[in-house]
Structure 1
Amino acid sequence: MIRGLYTAAAGMVTQQRRHDTATQNIANLNTTGYKQVDSVSHAFPDVLISAISHGTSEKIGRLNTGVFAEQSISQYVQGDLLESGKPADFAISSDLQVADPATGENIQFDGSGKYINPDGEVIYRPQAFFTVQDNEGNNLYTRNGSFTVNTAGDVLSAGGFRVLDATGNPMVLTGSLDNLKVDGQGNLIDPATGLAAGPKLGISIVTRPQQLVRDGNGVFHAEEPEVAEVRYAEAADNMQVRQGYLENSNVDAAQVTVDMNAAYRAYEANQKVIQFYDSTLQKAVTEIGRV
Structure 2
Amino acid sequence: MQTGFYNATGGMVTQMNRLDVISNNLANLNTSGFKRDDVVIGDFVRLYETKKNELPIDDQTKEAAKYLNRALTRVPHVVEEYTDISAGAVQTTDNVFDFALLQPNAYFMIETPEGVRYTRDGSFTLNHEGRLVTKEGFPVLPKEYVDGPQYIDIPEEAVVNADKDGNLYVKILTNETLNETIPLGNLAVVGFENPQYLEKTGGNLYKYPEERDAERTFNEGNGTVMQYALEKSNVNAVLEMTGLIETQRLVEMYSKVINTHMDDLNNEAINKLAQKA
TM-score range, shorter chain: 0.7 to 0.9
Bigger share in helix: 2
- Aligned residue for 1:4, secondary structure, equals helix
* Residue 171 of structure 1: how far off its partner (Å): 2.2
Answering whether residue 113 of structure 2 is matched by residue 135 of structure 1, we say yes
Matches within 5 A, 1:149-164: 149-164=126-141
Contact kept? 1:211, 1:228, Cα under 8 Å: no
* Residue 172 of structure 1: how far off its partner (Å): 2.8
* Residue 151 of structure 1: how far off its partner (Å): 1.9
* Residue 228 of structure 1: how far off its partner (Å): 8.3
Q: Which amino acid aligns with 2:125?
A: T
1:284 aligned residue (236, 251, 269):
269
Q: Which residue does the alignment assign to 2:28?
A: 28
Task: Could you tell me which runs of 5 or more consecutive residues in structure 1 were left unpaired when the two chains were aligned.
Answer: 48-60, 95-125
Matches within 5 A, 1:8-157: 8-45=8-45, 64-94=73-103, 127-136=105-114, 138-157=115-134
* Residue 195 of structure 1: how far off its partner (Å): 5.1
Answering whether residue 230 of structure 2 is matched by residue 262 of structure 1, we say no
Bigger share in strand: 1
The TM-score normalised by the length of structure 1 is 0.77
Answering whether residue 189 of structure 2 is matched by residue 179 of structure 1, we say no
* CA distance, structure 2, for counterparts of residue 10 and residue 233 of structure 1: 44
* CA distance, structure 2, for counterparts of residue 140 and residue 229 of structure 1: 15
Note the aligned Cα RMSD (angstroms): 2.3
Answering whether residue 15 of structure 2 is matched by residue 6 of structure 1, we say no
Q: Which residue does the alignment assign to 2:194?
A: 208
* CA distance, structure 2, for counterparts of residue 273 and residue 20 of structure 1: 22
- My pick for the range that moved more, 149-158 or 225-234, is 225-234
Structure-2 change in CA distance of 1:225 and 1:143 (3 Å): farther
* Residue 62 of structure 1: how far off its partner (Å): 7.0
Q: Where in structure 1 do 4 or more consecutive aligned residues deviate above 4 Å?
A: 192-196
Structure-2 change in CA distance of 1:195 and 1:21 (3 Å): same
* CA distance, structure 2, for counterparts of residue 194 and residue 208 of structure 1: 41
1:31-89 residue CA offsets vs partner (Å, 9 max, x unmatched) = 11111111221111289xxxxxxxxxxxxx87634011133211111111111111111
Q: Which residue does the alignment assign to 1:222?
A: 208
Structure-2 change in CA distance of 1:178 and 1:194 (3 Å): closer
